[in-house]
Amino acid sequence: MKIAFFTAKSYDKYYFNQQLSGTSHEITYFEDALNTETAVLTRGFDAVCVFVNNQVDRETIELIAGYGVKAVALRSAGVNNIDLQAADDAGLHVFRVPAYSPEAVAEHTAALILTLNRKTHKAYNRVRENNFSLESLTGFNIHGKAVGVIGTGKIGVAFCRIMRGMGCTINAFDPWQNEEVIEMGGKYMELDELLANSNIISLHCPLMHETKHIIDKQAIDKMNNSPMLINTSRGALINTADVIEGLKEKKIGSLGIDVYEQEEHIFFQDLSEQVIEDDEIARLMAFPNVLITGHQAFLTKEALNEIAKTTLNNLSAFEAGEEVENRVRP
């Protein structure tokens, strides 16, 4: 199968090339994102492979279907960046990688919490300038704190295990209760109760109509403890403008994000010599109690290897005419 691979990075090429042996697939790597302007590059290909920063809308789908593409392979778990109905209408099969490494994302979430709390990023920069002052580096004990976990799928459960190991209590919210969370002592509650009674709040739910802007002004007003807010899931789970106001009013104690609502225009590229025109992320970066990473929570050797393996297995099964377990429908 001939695969057009979009927004290819060096790490993508390394791990996918390792998994190619023993398959019939041939990959052509493109650094560009897939969109209406680059859709012509898919002419003569059987499938496209895209990441979360490719917004695959109806017009793009209709174009690539016209060029002969039969499948869209997402090398991610989330599918909010593709118009699934349009793909189904065009006869395209869509596949995803549902669980490449829950631990990778959960561990990065814990890293954001520890860094924000103990200000190790600031201490690192100080020491490099021979400044060994401890002023303004005071944190708090994470042990004994209440951690609110919104979304208790595979990543949420992995995160709960880490926080339980650090001596935290778990407040959980999810329409579908996970027995693993209950067995480790987690307590399920309504969202309002979680917001009001958690010292740290971490988002681990998919982006859907029901979860978009789950953290907005109304939710922030219900927070009683000026909690630390962490998002390593999808950017649009939080209303950025409302969170900025929450930080200014000190209703949110600190913020750590690995995802951003408009990240497709910013993340995964070097903009160090450019002026960032996005006012909201510029405002966030001005806060001393905000830590932003550029969608790197998934970026471990184990996760990249599993992403490559599962993506190619999905396409191999499709090529063989088999039912693909990881197919996504509208």
Q: Where are the domains of the chain?
A: 2-100+300-328, 102-292
Distance CA 254, CA 223 (A): 13
User: CA dihedral defined by 156, 159, 160, 164, rounded to 10 degrees?
Assistant: 180
Q: Which residues pair with 202 in a beta bridge?
A: 149, 230
**Of 208, 100, 230, nearest to 154 (Cα)?**
100
- What is the CATH architecture of 2-100+300-328? 3-Layer(aba) Sandwich (3.40)
Q: Quick one: 80 exposed, middle or buried, by C-beta within 10 A (0-12, 13-18, 19+)?
A: middle
Cα 283 from chain centroid? 21
Model confidence over 106-164: pLDDT tens digits? 999 999 999 999 999 999 999 999 999 999 999 999 999 999 999 999 999 999 999 99
For each of the chain's 330 residues, which pLDDT tens digit applies?
999 999 999 999 999 999 998 899 999 999 999 999 999 999 999 999 999 888 899 999 999 999 999 999 999 988 889 999 999 999 999 999 998 899 999 999 999 999 999 999 999 999 999 999 999 999 999 999 999 999 999 999 999 999 999 999 999 999 999 999 999 999 999 999 999 999 999 999 999 999 999 999 999 999 999 999 999 999 999 999 999 999 999 999 999 999 999 998 899 989 999 999 999 999 999 999 999 999 999 999 999 999 999 999 999 999 999 999 999 999
Helix (H) or strand (E) holding 305: helix 301-319
Q: Within 13 Å, how many C-alpha atoms sit on residue 295's CB side? A: 18
> The tokens of 252 are what?
């949110």
Q: Tell me the CA end-to-end span of the chain in Å, nearest whole number.
A: 25
- Burial of residue 73 (CB within 10 Å: 0-12, 13-18, 19+) is buried
**200 pairs with which residues across the strands?**
147, 228
For 102-292, the fitting CATH number among 3.40.640.10, 3.90.105.10, 3.30.465.10, 3.40.50.720 is 3.40.50.720
Separation between Cα atoms, residue 203 and residue 8, nearest integer Å: 28
User: Taking Cα atoms as reference points, which of 240, 239, 246 lies closest to residue 223?
Assistant: 246
Cite the active site residues: 234, 263, 295
Same CATH fold assignment for domains 2-100+300-328 and 102-292:
yes
Q: Note the pLDDT tens digit of each residue in 186-225.
A: 999 999 999 999 999 999 999 999 999 999 999 999 999 9
Q: How far apart are CA 213 and CA 194, in angstroms?
A: 16
